[in-house]
Amino acid sequence: MVGAYAIAYFGDHFEPILILFLPLYYLWQSPILLLILQTMFLGLAAWPIYLISAEVLNGRWEFISNQNKTPSNRGTDTPACRRTGNLTEPMRRKLTVEVEIASSNRIGDFSRNDRKKLVALGIAFLWLINPLVHNVNLFEFHAIAFLPFLFFWLFYFYLKLKEQPATKKVFSCFCVFVFLCLMVREDVAFIILAFLIIAWIDAFSNKNKNLLRITSYGLLITITYCLASFKIISQLSPAGFSPFSYYYDWLGQDWGEIFKHILTIANLEMALGLLAPFLFLPLIRPQYLWLAVIPLGQIILSAAGGGALAWQIHYGALFLPALVLAFIFGFKKTQIWVAKKIQSQYLLLAVIIIFNLALWPSFGPFSGKAAPISNKQVVNGLIKKIEPAASMLASYEFLPNLSGRQEIYALNYFFLGKQQFGAADYVLSKKPEYILINFDDLIGFDLHLANLNWSAKYYPAGAARLRELLKDYGIVALENNVALFKKNYPSDRSLYSINNQQPAISNQNEFNFDNKIKLTNYGLQIIPLRGISRRETDHKLFLSLTLEPLQPMGKDYQIILNDGTNKKILPLAYGLYPTSQWQVGGKITISYQLDWPVMENKSIGLELGKLYGGLEIGKLRSTVTVIDGAEKLGEAVKLKLE
């Protein structure tokens, strides 16, 4: 299974659980199916959370070491007594208070046990409104999103295993969910390993021989599986190990640098963001936070370190099992205190629910900047022009819609000529039949790929590589900087042209941008497409520019259009011929065709600028190109409508 990365899929992440969904995917080969499955599994995780909460809130699972029973306690050898063992006097007083609270008189027909179940239902509801869960769901499709559902069932059957004697059904379910969790992704083995160590310690402390044996075998299997999965990745990855080992190359530095790397505001921001939706209650009973230690180390010790990104995208799924379990136990302890002080069973739960809803504007998927609204109808129309089995090179945003093809290539990796992290060359087995490009991506490449440590050295050759490939392709359609090319397609359209002959006469429209680039001619038209209709998409802007470099430039400038109300940034020469490669003496003519709102003025401002910014996670967890500023080249020029 080889994807757009041009490497075997399991050479990136080992996720054999995806094999289980192949029969379904065979019936409906669409990325929409994967998104539906992801949403279903994340939502259904509330079910085992409810069952776990009901068990814990009913006081059945306090992890207290069991002492050897004496003749005096034989008469109390019940499942409840086996769970608590001999208690010290302070413990006994605490238990007595809890039992008295649990045995309180009924209020009508609604018993204390019913209220506990209602609170457990509220905790399950908290999962459904937790902004971190929705962030995981909306940031693309990732197999790691299946982990919470599977792990919570694993933990529920672990609680059942603690009942002596455990049934074969419970034992079988426990083993099945251990394997299913391991199949999610190779690094989930670290979470399962931590969980089994905690379970082993608890079984040893309570002299639960049955559970001790089960967890011992589980540890052996988990370690073996972990080693095997990384071995498979190393065999399939061009890096010879996990491609993500690139993130940790810096760790050869001295200990002082490592501590400075760990103790940062960004890492604190990550920790606060993960704990905030749980009102920091996991810190009250932190035992199960040990499950998150290795995932936390994976992120903090990476070259980029931690930050809000960890809980804005799918990485949150690695932490949610630990956070939810610690929260349930922390919630129980806090609720007992609140019930004593305020005599309310629901106040704490209500506060946390309201707090989660209040976090949505800043923590949830609606936070951040909105991604530009693309013309989906136009894009879908272009995709329909492509034969289902045709080989493709496409921009990243189009890859899901083109999935299922035998040959599909990612524009960003072809542009660099390298696979992820530069592990190997990115080679096309043959030239694709079609190329679908959103040329706005090339602005993102300039802001992002040109500044990443691993890709910066490959970026300068990218435009020439793409230009060379497109020589054999004709333009089938061009809409709003999105172009569809077909191999050997006869077309008289071109995105830009280069004329190296000197003009005999200067044009009256000439304008000089800081003595570096001269605008020698232009054409500007806006045409209403639907008569008297004045909707934004009913007007088309046609712009042609003829530019002449006056001196060599070391920077790549882009076009900024502004009519006083609307602003649009365009890749100069579609990013295919960046200004750093322009030759003095030549002329470059570029044509654009864009949707444009109705203009009140009869002119539009044109500026050239070197952009600065990068990529961020925006609303609905889409990747957004963010421009922080621009180094303007001279002053703006007013282009008048013809």
Token pair listed for 107: 């209020």
Ranges of residues in the chain whose predicted pLDDT is under 50: 1, 63-85, 93, 97, 99-109, 503-507, 532-534
* Nearest-10 crossing angle of helices 316-342, 131-138: 160
pLDDT tens profile 524-533: 988 877 654 4
Q: What is the pTM of this model?
A: 0.84
* Cα–Cα nearest to 511, from 520, 502, 503: 520
Residues 473, 487 contacting (CB under 8 angstroms): yes
Helical ranges in 457-601 per DSSP H: 462-470
Give yes or no for a contact between 437 and 475, defined as CB atoms under 8 angstroms apart.
Answer: no
Task: Single out the residue of 53, 62, 41 nearest to residue 149, CA to CA.
Answer: 41
pLDDT given for residue 65 in this prediction: 38
Give CA–CA dist 192/313, Å, rounded.
Answer: 22
For residue 18, what pLDDT is reported?
95
Residue 108, pLDDT score: 43
Q: Residues 205, 85: contact at Cβ < 8 Å?
A: no
Nearest to 228 by CA among 182, 263, 174, 282: 182
User: For residue 237, what is the DSSP state?
Assistant: S
**Looking at residue 464, what is its pLDDT?**
96
Nearest to 320, CA basis, from 152, 199, 141: 152
Distance CA 65, CA 640 (A): 83
Cβ-Cβ contacts under 8 Å for 152 (sequence gap 6 or more): 45, 48, 49, 52, 321, 324
Query: Which CATH architecture describes the domain 376-493?
Result: 3-Layer(aba) Sandwich (3.40)
Residue of 175, 406, 147 lying closest to 292 (CA atoms): 147
C-beta separation of 604 from 562 below 8 A: yes
CA–CA separation, 372 vs 625, rounded Å? 9
Domain boundaries, given as residue ranges, for the chain: 9-68+76-363, 376-493, 497-640
> Is 303 in contact with 247 (CB distance < 8 Å)?
yes
User: What sign does the CA torsion over 78, 79, 85, 91 have?
Assistant: negative
The H or E element spanning position 118 is helix 112-129
Distance of alpha carbon 121 from alpha carbon 109, whole angstroms: 19
Per-residue confidence (pLDDT) for residue 92, from 0 to 100: 52
3-state secondary structure of 154: helix
Q: What is the pLDDT of residue 540?
A: 86
Q: Given this model, what pLDDT does residue 242 score?
A: 64
Q: Helix crossing, 188-205 with 293-300: angle to 10°?
A: 150
Which residue type sits at 574? Y
- ∠ CA(379), CA(382), CA(388), 5° rounding? 115
The pLDDT tens digits for 166-213 are 788 999 999 999 999 999 999 999 999 999 999 999 999 988 888 999
